[in-house]
Chain A
Amino acid sequence: MSTDAQRWVAGHVAGLPKSGIRDFFELVAKMKGQDVISLGVGEPDFVTPWHVREAAIYALEQGKTYYTSNLGMIELRREISTYVERHFGVTYRPEDQVIVTVGVSEALDLAFRAFCNPGDKVMFHQPCYVSYHPSISLVHGVGIAVPTFAQDNFALTAAALRAAWQPGAKILMLNLPCNPTGGTCTRGQLEEIAAFCREKDLLVLSDEIYSELTFEGTHTSIASLPGMAERTIFLHGFSKAFAMTGWRIGYACGPAPLIDAMMKVHQYAMMCASIIAQEGALEALKHGWDNVVRMREQYHRRRDLIVRRLNETGLKCHLPRGSFYAFPDITATGLSEKDFSVGLLQQHKVAVVPGLAFGENGRGHVRACFATAYDQVIEACDRIDRFVQGLRK
């Protein structure tokens, strides 16, 4: 193929950096069949519980193969409304304040497209999920990264927000608990952030996909704080807590005019989420909570295990309050996060993700996902230990 084809690619897409994760993925893929333990994933190791899979099979048998309402099946929206009220303390009308999307990723994309004019400024905390900044760039927005730090357990602070704020900032993107750091905010910290948002009239997009996987204390949604529901789009989905990544079902809840704006984009771009996956999600909400609790208990023990082992090895690791990621500081080894990850992979066959893939503030860290069976976590920790001790010699 001629490289001339490049001329057809839109400038702002050509200008997007390639995901750092992608490079690493290629490297790991080359080692196929070599007993690699991967702590590089971003999804549960549990298969979707059978009752959910069975409900989707039943839906297919019943011939449920058609489009649904643009907003998603009303039965599902009702269950979502009930679930969000019960677990997050915010009430949304299923008829016009909830939209079902193809994963939270689509919900986020809809929000940026619906609310962000070219040149609008969007604040987001960093290190963060790899999509946030590119999604802002794709709508010609301007991203403003707000750093979070290991000494705060990677919680976002109002002070950091204020320091990074620029005139004209319109949107604040939150992801608490956070991928990749596991950082989250206490209610007190959130109240300060909420006050700042009200002061600066910011719209908040709050991706709370890891909220059920909160291990210390209870999760507080910023939408539940006084004066915040009217300026917050609450984003959630089934991928993590219900182990349903491949189903691609997420949802957004918020003020009716904002959900309506997102729905406009959604109806033209996507039409609706897959009906079969929506049926599965409905079953998960109706009968899946016991499994969520069971999986959370396992993640909790794995987290305690991996954090203890990493610290014993001499890799300083804060205790992630949520998510299934440990985000140790590897600077004590004298290696960059990239050299550490490549060395660990090639010499000891453990895959972790270099922290820089999650933004500048991930420098000096790697992300290790502990959504992996105990014996694999233990073996991976043994190998990491051998790798680090080998470096000291």
Chain B
Amino acid sequence: MNPVLKLLIDGGSLTTGQLAQVSGLTEAEVNQHLEQLRREGIFLGWRPVLDLSREAAAALAVRAVIEVKVTPERGGGFNRLAERIARFDEVESCYLVSGGYDLLVFVRGATLQRVASFVSEKLSTIEGVLSTSTHFMLRCYKEQGFLLGADDAQTQRLNVAP
């Protein structure tokens, strides 16, 4: 596996300088690897992982997950509709899933009203969308691998031990 990709996956929040030190490459080489991964469409970009319950991060704090049933189309299946829905700025992630509905759509907005109007005015009015079921997220316990509000007592580790 590409050494930089491996570190991206399990290295935590390292700067490219730190990535270089850990992987034993120069910073220029790390950037080359990143550029290569980007060209191959594997590495898509950087995003911060935020605790949106905090005041300072509340700008896009309302999140919902929407179960969407759609009518598949001859030739394209679910793809055309899924891609159309995915293009909306409000949509953070969009998956085709197995089970009782077809698309699982994660959306984010500044207020409840904004998200609600996206669902009622945009999403549910698209031709081919049969139904939507919207779940507003009330509280986050774990965000992309980060536990929120949990203290793992790491600081109590002895500083010097045999």
Contacts and interface: CB of A to CB of B under 8 A. Distances in A.
Interface of A: 19, 21, 24-25, 28-29, 36, 38, 40-43, 45, 47, 129-131, 179, 294, 297-298, 301-302, 304-305, 308-309, 351, 353, 357, 373-375, 378
B160 to A, nearest CB: 4
Given A47-B152, A304-B24, A378-B18, 17 more contacts: A25-B159, A36-B159, A40-B160, A41-B161, A45-B154, A129-B162, A130-B162, A297-B10, A301-B22, A302-B22, A305-B24, A357-B162, A373-B12, A374-B21, A374-B22, A375-B12, A375-B14
A130 B154 CA distance: 24
Contacts of A373: 12
23 contacts: A25-B159, A41-B158, A42-B161, A42-B162, A43-B158, A43-B161, A45-B154, A45-B157, A47-B153, A131-B162, A179-B162, A294-B10, A297-B10, A302-B22, A304-B24, A305-B24, A309-B21, A351-B159, A353-B160, A373-B12, A375-B14, A378-B18, A378-B22
B10 A378 contact: no
- Chain B interface SS verdict (over half): loop
B15 to A, nearest CB: 8
Interface in B114-130: none
Contact of B11 (A41, A47, A374): A374
Contact of A28 (B157, B160, B162): B160
Contacts of A129: 162
Q: Name the 9 nearest CB pairs between A and B, nearest first.
A: A40-B160, A25-B160, A38-B159, A42-B161, A130-B162, A28-B159, A47-B152, A374-B22, A41-B161
Nearest to A47: B152
A221 to B, nearest CB: 23
Given A47-B152, A374-B12, A25 B24 contact: no
Given A28-B159, A305-B24, A378-B21, A298 B10 contact: yes
A298 B154 CA distance: 18
Contacts of B157: 41, 43, 45
Contact of B23 (A25, A43, A45, A301): A301
Contacts of B14: 374-375
A356 to B, nearest CB: 13
Contacts of A38: 159-160
A308 B21 CA distance: 9
Nearest to B23: A301
A24 B22 CA distance: 29
Nearest to A29: B159
B160 A41 contact: yes
A24 B160 contact: yes
A357 B161 CA distance: 11
Contacts of B159: 25, 28-29, 36, 38, 40-41, 351
A50 to B, nearest CB: 10
Contacts of A21: 160-162
B8 to A, nearest CB: 13
Contacts of A301: 7, 22-23
Contacts of B158: 25, 41, 43
Interface centre among A24, A130, A301, A305 (most CB of B within 10 A): A301
Interface string B118-162: 000000000000000000000000000000000011100111111
Contacts of B160: 21, 24-25, 28, 38, 40-41, 351, 353
A21 B157 CA distance: 15
Nearest to A24: B160
A302 B18 CA distance: 12
Nearest to B7: A301
A385 B41 CA distance: 39
Contacts of A29: 159
A361 to B, nearest CB: 17
Nearest to A358: B162
B105 to A, nearest CB: 29
A41 B155 CA distance: 12
Nearest to A19: B162
Nearest to B157: A41
A344 to B, nearest CB: 13
A304 B152 CA distance: 27
Contacts of B12: 373-375
Interface centre among A36, A179, A294, A304 (most CB of B within 10 A): A304
A353 B160 CA distance: 8
Nearest to A48: B152
A297 to B, nearest CB: 8
A218 to B, nearest CB: 21
B57 to A, nearest CB: 22
Contacts of A351: 159-160
Contacts of A42: 161-162
B14 to A, nearest CB: 6
Interface string B1-26: 00000010011101000100111100
Interface string B72-107: 000000000000000000000000000000000000
